Amino acid sequence: MSQEGQLLDKKSLRVVTGTTANWKELAKDCIAFANAEGGRLLIGIEDEEELPPAGQTIDSGLPDLIRRKVGERTVNVTVLPEVLRAENGSEFIELRIPRSLAVASTPDGHYFRRVSDQSKPVVGDEVMRLAAERSALPWETQTTLHVSRSETDPQKLATFVAGIKASDRVKDSVKEKSDDELLDHYLLAHGECLTNLGILCVGRRQDRARIGTAPVIQFIKYDELGKKVNKIAWDDFSQTPMELIEAVWKEVPDFRERYELPDGLFRQHVPLYDEIVVRELLVNALAHRPYTQRGDIFLNLHTDRLEIVNPGLLPLGVTPQNLLHTTVRRNEHLARIFHDLKLMEREGSGYDKMYEVLLSQGKSVPEPKEGPDRFEVTVRRRILKPQIIDFIAKADQTFQLTQRERIALGLLAQHEALTARELTKALELSSVDALNPWITRLLSWGLVLSSGKTQATRYFVDPNVLRRLEFTTPTSLKRIEPHRLQALVVEDLSRYPRSAGGEINKRIGEEIPYKQVKRAIDALIAAEQVLFEGDKRGRRYWLAE
């Protein structure tokens, strides 16, 4: 049975039976699914379980009761309850909620939307955005230009058909369809007309230009003074979104530049901007942009970074803080074509892949930022630690790491030591408990060590493993144990009494986070070994007599 997420949730039978029934909570989840992509509620299966309790049976009148209770508490929501039997013979209810064509809400005007595995409220200006995104007829499938389905570009149609038939992601039954049937299958045509999506992907140049919001890409290179030194534009509407990805990668000469790193007797070449990362950023910009809004896609190349700027805001429910784990496809049918042509992964935006590639190359992770009317991602050029490249490669070869483990190990190797809370934030996880799939095996293999408890647990790469894999790095105080750090503070205060916390931090080692030094000082104060006067920045410390 599937895990809870964007399209699935599990509920105990207690939610709809007896005195514990919580119809308000159930209605909220149904509204959230209806306002997203639809989904299923499995009622009668606990959150952490795969099957319903042994011997569980469902009252024959319960589905009708659910339908009535949810209907009384929602607007524009359809629910389809059905009693099913699990593998263990027990019964449960599968409650299917189709995607609503209008905005779903409670009768008193409360709105919710499904984001990952949670039902989140929609408030303020977000309500207007939700209404705009709930168009009964998506932009992709509209036929506003009334272009005949016979007026495709023959070469682009042939290229599209060849790509579909060569893809191992497409079923044989789809590959057997005629060219005309493929237009209907991928919603490139409706009736006698090409849809907006059809004009984008297989239409003629003049029709693509008439759409008004067909993608235009500009590459601009800046020197160290911020002056423009080169510009390439793809603005004549002669290329489909699929062709634009290939054109940008091939026609920008700067993407061919590489670092040359020593590797024993040989040289290792690392690209300034990896092809996987650049293509993923382009795919995301094209697949997830709002095609009802005008605006060019910009690739701004500075001496130290690459910025990809996309017009429009992120889809409702997606933020720069949850990009790594949240999937909301604004252009569902274009994303499907990109997937079947092997340009993107259907289940995600590719940010996890970018994290993996950049960290394995010793670089920092992508930096997303949302502005008033645009979304921007920055990728840094600099390799922070060249040694990480060799370390991650050898660790992966030895232990066959999963993608999550490579990301977590790369972060820890780059930062030397992170607390559970810091690692949770870096991985954009909801809680410290969610760290387990990322680091459990790394801990069991001894690749990563830990000290401390709960959220103060500190994770770091085992120095012995670093030496065994020929990973050399300077000694750091980041991994210093608490009692040793306290001893350093005492030694420092014996020499420099009445010092501020920042002064102590600077003298004993600036690589140690100030919060870590502050905890050591607070522990010494609690043990009555250190006294202080003043408050906040003016506080001074000295040793007790």
Distance CA 542, CA 545 (A): 9
Helix residue ranges per DSSP H, 417-499: 420-426, 436-445, 463-468, 482-495
Q: Which domains does the chain have, with CATH numbers?
A: 8-133 (3.30.950.30), 139-211 (no CATH), 218-380 (3.30.565.60), 387-476 (1.10.10.10), 480-543 (1.10.10.10)
What pLDDT was estimated at residue 198?
96
DSSP3 helix / strand / coil % (the chain, rounded to 5)? 40, 20, 40
Q: What pLDDT was estimated at residue 286?
A: 92
Q: What are the E-state strand segments in 123-243?
A: 189-190, 193-194, 217-222, 228-234
Which pLDDT value is given to residue 471? 45
Q: Backbone dihedral region of 461: left (phi > 0), alpha (psi from -120 to 50 degrees) or beta?
A: beta
The span from the CA of 525 to the CA of 86, in Å, is 59
Strands (DSSP E) found in 386-461: 417-419, 448-451, 458-461
Of 45, 115, 123, the closest CA to residue 87 belongs to 45
CA atoms of 117 and 126, how far apart (whole Å) = 19
Neighbours of 141 (CB within 10 A): 17
Q: Are 180 and 161 in contact (CB under 8 A)?
A: no
- Residue 104: name the closest of 38, 6, 35, 40 by CA: 35
Say what the pLDDT of residue 512 is.
86
pTM of the predicted model, to two decimals? 0.69
What's the pLDDT score for residue 18?
Answer: 87
Q: Per-block average pLDDT, block size 10, for the chain (545 residues)?
A: 75 90 93 89 88 91 93 92 91 92 88 85 82 71 90 96 94 94 95 95 94 92 93 95 95 88 64 91 89 89 94 78 72 90 70 86 89 89 82 83 90 86 86 87 88 82 67 61 88 91 89 87 91 85 89
3-class DSSP assignment, residue 403: helix
Which candidate, 473, 348, 455, places its Cα nearest to that of 404? 348
For residue 139, CA distances in Å to 36, 142, 157, 182, 313 come to: 16, 5, 21, 19, 17
Question: What residues have CB less than 8 Å from 336, skipping those under 6 apart?
Answer: 186, 346
User: Could you tell me the two tokens for 139?
Assistant: 């932009």
pLDDT computed for residue 472 by the predictor: 46
Contact 323, 342 (CB under 8 A): no
Q: In whole angstroms, give the CA distance from residue 282 to residue 285.
A: 5
